[in-house]
Amino acid sequence: MNDQQRMTTFREQLQQTDGLDERRFARLMQALDRDGKPAGYDERGRLRVAMYDAKSYDIASFEQQNQGRLAIRPIEASLGESTVDAAEGCTVACLFVNDRCDAAVVAGLAARGVKLVALRCAGFNNVDLAACEQHELDVVRVPAYSPYAVAEHTVALMLMLNRHLHLAYQRNRAGYFVLEGLTGFDMRGKTVGVVGGGKIGRCTIDILLGLGCRVLVFDPQPCEELAARDGVAYSELDTLLRESDIITLHLPLFPETHYLIDAAAIARMKRGVMLINTSRGGLVDTRALIDGLKSGQIGYAGLDVYEEEAGIFFHDVSGKVLSDDVLARLLTFNNVVITSHQAFLTREALSNIAETTLANIAEHQAGRRGAQLTNAVRSPR
Whether residue 240 is predicted with pLDDT greater than 90 in this model: the reply is yes
pLDDT per residue as tens digits for the range 204-238: 999 999 999 999 999 999 999 999 999 999 999 99
Pairing outcome for strands 71-74 and 246-249: unpaired
Catalytic site residue 329? Answer: no
pTM of the model: 0.85
Identify the band that residue 331 occupies on the pLDDT scale cut at 50, 70 and 90. Answer: very high
pLDDT recorded at residue 286: 98
Among the options 164, 309, 363, 364, which is catalytic? Answer: 309
Among the options 202, 280, 363, 364, which is catalytic? Answer: 280
In Å, how far are 11, 26, 29, 30, 43 from 23, measured between CA atoms? Answer: 17, 5, 10, 11, 21
Q: Nearest-CA neighbor of 197 among 134, 279, 140? A: 279
pLDDT per residue as tens digits for the range 26-50: 555 555 554 455 678 998 999 999 9
Catalytic site residue 258? Answer: no
pLDDT recorded at residue 352: 96
pLDDT recorded at residue 35: 47
pLDDT per residue as tens digits for the range 120-135: 998 899 999 999 999 9
In Å, how far are 86, 137, 170, 188, 206 from 114, measured between CA atoms? Answer: 11, 7, 48, 52, 42
Residue 274 CA from chain centroid, whole number = 23
In 43-109 the beta strands, taken as DSSP E runs, fall at 48-51, 71-74, 92-95
pLDDT per residue as tens digits for the range 169-191: 999 999 999 999 999 999 999 99
pLDDT recorded at residue 34: 47
pLDDT recorded at residue 213: 98
pLDDT per residue as tens digits for the range 40-97: 899 899 999 999 999 999 999 999 999 999 999 999 999 999 999 999 999 999 999 9
Catalytic site residue 341? Answer: yes
Taking residues 348-355, report their average pLDDT. 97
Cα(6)–Cα(32) distance, rounded to whole angstroms? 5
Residue 353 near residue 338 (C-beta atoms within 8 A): no
Among the options 307, 341, 363, 364, which is catalytic? Answer: 341
